[in-house]
Amino acid sequence: MKSCLLMLFTLPFNGAGNDVVELKEIGVSLPAAVAGIKYQGRRTFDEKALGYSVAYGNKMCTITLIVYDFDKKNIPNGKDNPLVADQMRRSIEDLKTYATSGVYKNLQPIKGELQLPKPVLEAFSTAGYTFDADGRRSKSFILLTARQQHFFKVRLTQYVVDQSTNDDEVRAFLNTLVKAVSAK
């Protein structure tokens, strides 16, 4: 199963379409575009436990939203539970596996408090890393929580282009995401 999760970040996504992107298992609806970051497509995994992902992105970032249950039952809502902590540990191990295999170079945890909007830090368990991939510097965040018997993971990678990142666009996207996740 671990190799399936590793492949998640290398698989292509199929077409964009509607004005609203539905993550129905967790009751979340998002616009197809937020602050210049556009819906790229949806991918359903062959193994049901791995769920599906939807991708957003532009030339400055890729944001992958993953909804899955990993064959777990009775997943408590929220970020502060042992099941979410275990999924975060696995996600970090996956990054380290990429680094060991040479896909990522210079993988380093981001030191100090992550520069993410406060509502994001309150809603999600978070981890941040920097690395080099495909000849460009990147900073990457893993956001994890649980909702309606599913894990909800966000993998956000920003690319350093001309020595800058699209922090304003990403903040707008993440604030929109937290509002959607927080809606009842």
24 CB neighbour count, 10 Å cutoff: 9
**pLDDT value, residue 134:** 86
Contact 63, 9 (CB under 8 A): no
**pLDDT value, residue 4:** 37
Q: What is the 3-state secondary structure (H, E, C) of 104-121?
A: CEEEEECCCCCCCCHHHH
Instruction: Please list the residues that pair with 139 across neighbouring strands.
Output: 130, 158
Phi and psi for 152 in degrees, rounded to 5? -130, 110
Instruction: Please list the residues that pair with 61 across neighbouring strands.
Output: 58, 158
**pLDDT value, residue 135:** 85
Show pLDDT as tens, one digit a residue, over the chain (184 residues).
433 333 333 333 334 445 899 999 999 999 999 999 999 999 999 999 999 999 999 999 999 999 999 999 999 999 999 999 999 999 999 999 999 999 999 999 999 999 999 999 999 999 999 999 988 899 999 999 999 999 999 999 999 988 899 999 999 999 999 999 987 6
**pLDDT value, residue 184:** 61
Rounded Cα distance between 150 and 69, Å, is 5
Which residues does 52 contact at the CB level (< 8 Å), separation at least 6? 42, 43, 44, 45, 66, 67, 68
Alpha helices in 36-165 (DSSP H): 82-101, 118-123
Nearest to 14, CA basis, from 47, 36, 34, 40? 40
**pLDDT value, residue 9:** 38
**pLDDT value, residue 18:** 56
The pair of structure tokens assigned to 146 is 């649980």
Contact 126, 141 (CB under 8 A): yes
